[in-house]
Amino acid sequence: MKTLKRSLACLTFAALCGAATGAPSANLEAVVDPVNAALLAALEDEDEVPDKRDDIKDMRKTFEGHLTKKGKEDPDAIAVLDMLLKEYEGCGPKDKADIVKSLQKGFGLKRKENRDGTAANTVAMASAVCLSKMAPESVKSLNKLCFDKKVTSDPAVHRQVILSLGKTEDESAVDTLLKLTSSKDAKIQGAAIESLGRFRAIDQKERKEVCERLIKIIMPIKSTVDSDSEDIIARERYDVIGPPTITTLQKLTDQKIRDFQEWQQWWNKNKRNDWDEEED
């Protein structure tokens, strides 16, 4: 690197010396520009991130090997995941793609339940968390995993995958999350609503579509809860999705409203207004 920079400086200096001896300025440009272009290209090549690294390949192979041990080496697999995550930012595009592919293998593993009856899903949970930090390469995988049976069969993992998708803040996730707001599972629905709150930066038209969707979802449930105190199912769903709905609406609109009746009134009044117009 230093040698290339010195060469660039020396050649440029030589060209300038030629100009000082009477060479026309056009000749100076003819000499300096190609030299600079060639050396800068060499510098860029020198700065390229190493790809298809042997150590990354070995870590991936080790991770996938741990997965085949029927749960006995799941803690070891998670330790390797941590190593891959730390290396991820310094990887080239092919290594990044390969790491994402390896992490997808952490889902749908056949494991015996824990002694307390809970799912032995630590690798899947850890893989989902790691994928949230590997955008944009991981976004396509997370979008697909949201509807993959090996994920949806475990509500806890499904919820984490949805939250991870939201954390990527990739605009392509919005359609997926909107679809998931129709889930019959309140926790999945709530996770999708919570994740949508991360998309304050999307186009205002899309933000309005999200807000309209959330208000249409919550208001009938709110009405049922208010009119029938004995409807336990409606109350439970409201308790799960109500808080993230308020939070997401606040984030997407920059409003501080907490009452859903007020949200409905605000929406009716402002849905056609410019939300991003600066106030005087």
Cβ within 8 Å of residue 6, ≥6 positions away = none
Same domain, 175 and 249: yes
Secondary structure, 3-state, the chain:
CHHHHHHHHHHHHHHHHHHHCCCCHHHHHHHHHHHHHHHHHHHHHHHCCCCCCHHHHHHHHHHHHHHCCCCCCHHHHHHHHHHHHHHHCCCCHHHHHHHHHHHHCCCCCCCCCCCCCCCCCHHHHHHHHHHHCCCCCCHHHHHHHCCCHHHHCCHHHHHHHHHHHHHHCCCCHHHHHHHHCCCCCHHHHHHHHHHHCCCCCCCHHHHHHHHHHHHHHHHHHHHHHHHCCCCHHHHHHHHHHHHHHHHHHHHHHCCCCCCHHHHHHHHHHHCCCCCCCCCC
The answer for residues whose C-beta is within 8 angstroms of residue 125's C-beta and 6 or more apart is: 156, 157, 160
Q: Do 37 and 127 share a domain, yes or no?
A: no
Distance CA 211, CA 105 (A): 35
Q: Do 39 and 86 fall into the same domain?
A: no
Tokens of residue 210, six digits: 């999200």
> Residue 221 falls within a domain, yes or no?
yes
Contacts of 160 (CB under 8 A, 6+ apart): 124, 125, 128, 129
Statement to judge: residues 183 and 266 lie in one domain: yes
Residue 161 falls inside a structural domain:
no
Tell me which of 30, 47, 64 is where a domain ends.
47
Asked if 122 and 178 sit in the same domain, the reply is: no
Domain assignment present for 254: yes
Query: Distance from CA of residue 177 to its chain's centroid?
Result: 12
- Residue 276, both tokens: 């991003």
Local confidence band at 13 (pLDDT 50, 70, 90 cut-offs): very low
202 and 269 both lie in a single domain: yes
Average pLDDT over residues 35-60: 73
Same domain, 181 and 128: no
Q: 69 and 115: one domain?
A: yes
Question: What would the pLDDT profile of 116-167 be if each residue is shown by its tens digit?
Answer: 999 999 999 999 999 999 999 999 999 999 999 999 999 999 999 999 999 9
Q: Do 39 and 58 lie in a common domain?
A: no
pLDDT value for 20: 46
Q: Is residue 165 part of a domain?
A: no
Question: Residue 120: CB partners within 8 Å, gap ≥ 6?
Answer: 71, 74, 111, 112, 113, 114
- Using only C-alpha atoms, the chain has a radius of gyration, in whole angstroms, of 27
Residue 122: give the domain boundaries: 50-137
Please report which confidence band the pLDDT of residue 2 belongs to, taking 50, 70 and 90 as the band edges.
Answer: very low
pLDDT, tens digit, 9 for 90 and up, residues 205-256: 999 999 999 999 999 999 999 999 899 999 999 999 999 999 999 999 999 9
**Pairwise CA distance, residues 34 & 158, whole Å:** 55
pLDDT exceeding 90 applies to what percent of the chain? 80
Count of CB atoms situated within 10 Å of the CB of 219? 15
In a domain, 164, yes or no: no
Shared domain for 263 and 191, answered yes or no, is: yes
CB 224 within 8 A of CB 234: yes
pTM: 0.83
Residue 93 has pLDDT above 90, yes or no: yes
**176, part of any domain:** yes
In a domain, 144, yes or no: no
Q: In a 10 Å sphere around its CB, with 0-12 CB exposed, 13-18 middle and 19+ buried, how is residue 182 labelled?
A: exposed
Residue 40, pLDDT score: 53
Residues 224 and 175 in one domain: yes
- Asked which of 55-64, 112-121, 180-189, 213-222 is least confident by mean pLDDT, the reply is 112-121
Per the structure, the count of domains in the chain is: 3
Q: Tell me what pLDDT residue 43 has.
A: 47
Mean pLDDT over the full length of the chain: 88
| 93/116 same-domain check | yes
280 in any annotated domain? no
